[in-house]
A and B are shown apart, each in its own frame.
Chain A
Amino acid sequence: MAEEVKLDHLIVQGAMYKTTLTAKFKHRKAWKSPNPNLIYSFIPGTVIEVLVKPGQKVKQGETLILLEAMKMHNNIVMPFDGEVVKVNVQPKDLVSKKEAMIEVRPR
């Protein structure tokens, strides 16, 4: 075993192993519980139109945003009856995947 290798720790089933870690492992994304009040982009794309304003009451299924992605216009709809809290995007914005575009709250 080469002495200069710097060892890290990895815990598997309660046991702590001395080993090295890969870059892929170190850069893995930590799990975050999704917030149901945040409307995320499900695909990267361009915002075409924002149809709601903060404070506006919106029914379940109504369109909040038109998002163009892969040459398709996608309706981003309200998941439940409620109210718009905050709009984080405007037309022509490029959004990446899983970006919080709008914050809402149930009524």
Chain B
Amino acid sequence: MSLKNNILDLRKRKEEIKKGGGEEAIEKQAQMGKLTARERILAILDENSFHEYDIFVEHSARDFGMEAKVLHGDGVIIGTGTIYNKPVCIFAQDFTVAGGSLGLMHAQKITKIMDHSLKMRVPLIGINDSGGARIQEGVNSLAGYGEIFFRNTLASGVIPQISVILGPCAGGAVYSPALTDFVFVVENISKMFITGPSVIKSVLGEDISMEDLGGARVHAEITGNAHFYAANEQECFEQIKKLITYIPWNNEQKPQPFPAKPPKKVKVEKIVPSDPKLPYDMRDIIKAITDGSDFFEIMEHFAPNILIGFGRMEGETVGFVANQPMVLAGVLDTDSSDKAARFIRFCDAFNIPIVTLEDLPGYLPGVDQEHSGVIRHGAKILYAYSEATVPKITVILRKAYGGGYIAMNSRHLRADFVFAWPTAEIAVMGPEGAANIVFRKEIMEAEDPEAMRQQKIQEYKEKFANPYVAAAKGYIDEVIEPEETRSRILHALKVSKNKNISMPVKKHGIPPF
């Protein structure tokens, strides 16, 4: 055989493998509105940048007649490529090959590319589309999952890890995405659950569809497992590529700066009603201070009473955490605490300064909240802010009451700069609640208790519901005019650039997970 023939033979082999599970399986995949694994990788990466490895890997199953079966690439594609010319590692499970089921070699391909991403300090993108463990491979499948979870954990906080759920991801398999930083789901395509509808039906007699149990909307809205929700795969890929622009390649770098851009001109003081009981959309405030009025929101549909996401200020990525008075008056609760705390930890791990915009009446009251553990969930936010060493800036717009005041990156948790608008009310609780307690006797004994209550509320308001009591103690650094918000934050970010503080040496903390 001449060299030419060798080359032709190689090409033929590769062409064969690239057919994945064959035309029929690919047709089925398309009917479900799904792209193939290869198409997905090519859609996410820069043109002509994808380089594949382990294409000739074969499965190692030797039982149940599996030895005679050929599974191209063992149902997963791994490789490296670039996004906006920066390197990433990527894998995509191929549902057309044995349902993307995970066996020993399949898992070894994934862990190989995971090891690469950690060694090379580049982000990892994992596309999940798999029926689950390959039953015929028995405990080897479980071993494979375990090796993946272990690597997810090792890489956590070192490189950004992105999971894209583009098909089923069931049973133990769900824990890899759950260990990663950002999970993307797509309507009608993503399905995630520990036990599926059929098991639930047989054991519990409860009838539920896959979509209602663990569809994209469920995870974006109810469980909080997903960070980004898209109507179709293309939109999902755009979201991934946008996210990538805001985050650094690893924990030793900063996000890439962009050219500075002013926000659209709006009067911020016109957005916020002076009555602290009236709502407004906090997104309008964020967009009034970010470059190009761009706010890339994360977990938009889950716990919408708190907002998290990225924006840029003079070209630099900033992580925003903000109470949303438009939903549940912006209270903290179990879900919003989880949502904010994890985001704060991401920002801290990846050198992204945090700007906190505060306007909340406190914690959500209720038996369900207490019984679902608002104490331990709420503690996460305190922990996350306290341990964060990136620049931390707080602006108090209106209400900052009680435990909510402390939790939202207060001076006491080592905020670097705390600003307050003149409308800020920094107090142990709102005037209504406080007056009822402090002046209980006077109100009860008054001829007209309601009139007395109103009078005392007013008295308390004048005395405590302002930023000056806290300013007099230095708990806030400056009372600023609303229109100064952007310029003050910009300056604070500028002088915080070389922030360098050290924490007590320890193996690791024990956050209230």
Give me the interface of A with B, judged by CB distance under 8 Å. 1-2, 5, 7, 10-25, 28-29, 31, 44-45, 69-70, 94, 96
Give B437-481 interface residues, CB cut-off 8 Å to A: none
Interface residues on B, range: 35 or more
Bound Cα distance from A21 to B331, whole angstroms: 11
Mask: chain B, 201-236; 1 = CB below 8 Å from A; 0 = not: 001111000000000000001100000000000000
Residue of B nearest to A7 (CB): B279
Q: Is the CB of A10 within 8 A of B362?
A: no
Contact partners of B328 in chain A: CB under 8 A? 10, 19-22, 25
Task: Output the least CB separation between B436 and chain A (Å).
Answer: 6
- Is the beta-carbon distance between A22 and B304 smaller than 8 angstroms? yes
Whether B280 sits at the interface, judged by CB under 8 Å, is yes
In the assembled complex, 23 residue pairs joining A and B whose CB atoms fall closer than 8 Å, in A order, are A1-B280, A1-B281, A2-B281, A10-B328, A11-B365, A12-B331, A12-B430, A13-B361, A13-B402, A15-B432, A18-B277, A18-B279, A19-B279, A19-B327, A19-B329, A20-B326, A22-B303, A22-B327, A25-B364, A44-B204, A44-B206, A45-B204, A94-B205
- In the complex, besides A5-B326, A15-B361, 16 extra interface pairs with C-beta distance below 8 angstroms are A13-B365, A14-B432, A14-B433, A15-B277, A15-B430, A17-B279, A19-B279, A19-B326, A23-B221, A25-B364, A28-B366, A44-B206, A69-B203, A70-B203, A94-B204, A94-B205
CB pair B433 A15 closer than 8 Å: yes
CB distance from B202 to the nearest CB of A (A): 10
Scan residues 259-316 of chain B and give those whose CB is less than 8 A from a CB of chain A: 271, 277-281, 303-305
Does B335 lie at the interface of the complex (its beta carbon under 8 Å from any beta carbon of A)?
yes
Chain B residue with Cβ nearest A16:
B277
Across-interface contacts of A24 in B (CB, < 8 A): 222, 335
Q: How far is the CA of A26 from the CA of B207 in the complex (A)?
A: 23
Chain A nearest Cβ from B331, distance in angstroms: 6
Query: Shortest beta-carbon distance, B61 to chain A, in Å?
Result: 28
Neighbouring A residues of B431 by C-beta, 8 Å? 15
Q: Which of B206, B326, B367, B430 contacts A13 (CB 8 A)?
A: B430
Q: Which residues of A contact B221 (CB under 8 A)?
A: 23
Residue of A nearest to B331 (CB): A12
Q: Is B368 a contact of A31 with CB atoms below 8 Å?
A: yes
Q: Is the CB of B205 within 8 A of A20?
A: no
Cβ of B73 under 8 Å from chain A: no
**Interchain CA distance A63-B433 in the complex, whole Å:** 50
Asked if B429 is at the interface (CB within 8 A of a chain A CB), the reply is yes
Contact B362 A12 (CB under 8 A): yes
Q: Which of A13, A21, A31 contacts B429 (CB 8 A)?
A: A13
Cβ contact within 8 Å between B279 and A44: no
CB distance from B314 to the nearest CB of A (A): 28
Bound-state CA distance A6–B292 (Å) is 29
Q: Which B residues are in CB contact (< 8 Å) with A13?
A: 361-362, 365, 401-402, 429-430, 432-433
B325 at interface by CB-CB < 8 Å: yes
The 8 nearest A-B residue pairs measured at CB: A13-B433, A94-B205, A14-B432, A17-B329, A31-B367, A14-B433, A12-B361, A15-B432
List the B side residues contacting A14 at CB < 8 Å.
Answer: 430, 432-433, 436
> How many angstroms from the CA of A29 to the CA of B367 in the assembled complex?
9
Q: How far is the CB of A61 from chain B (nearest CB, A)?
A: 28
| Chain A contacts for B365, CB-based, 8 A | 11-13
* Assembled-state Cα–Cα distance A17/B430 (Å): 11
B 63-106 contacts with A by CB, 8 A: none
Closest Cβ of chain A to B150, distance in Å, is 27
User: Is A44 within 8 A of B361, CB to CB?
Assistant: no
Instruction: Compute how far the CA of A81 lies from the CA of B441 in the bound complex, rounded to whole angstroms.
Output: 48
CB proximity of B8 to chain A, nearest CB, Å? 57
Give A62 to B50 CA distance when docked, in angstroms. Answer: 68
With CB as the reference atom, state the residue of chain A lying closest to B200: A44
A11-B278 Cα distance, complex, nearest whole Å:
12
Residue of A nearest to B284 (CB): A1
Instruction: Across the interface, name the chain A residue whose C-beta is closest to B329.
Output: A17
Q: B231 to nearest A CB, angstroms?
A: 20
Residues of A within 8 A of B280 (CB): 1
A contact residues around B432 at 8 Å (CB): 13-15
A45 to chain B minimum Cβ distance, whole angstroms, is 8
Nearest Cβ in chain A — how far from B283, in angstroms?
Answer: 11
- Considering the chains assembled together, what is the distance between the CA atoms of A14 and B351 in angstroms? 40
List chain A residues, Cβ under 8 A from B366. 28
Q: Which residues of B contact A1 (CB under 8 A)?
A: 271, 279-281, 326
A10 and B204 form a contact (CB under 8 A): no
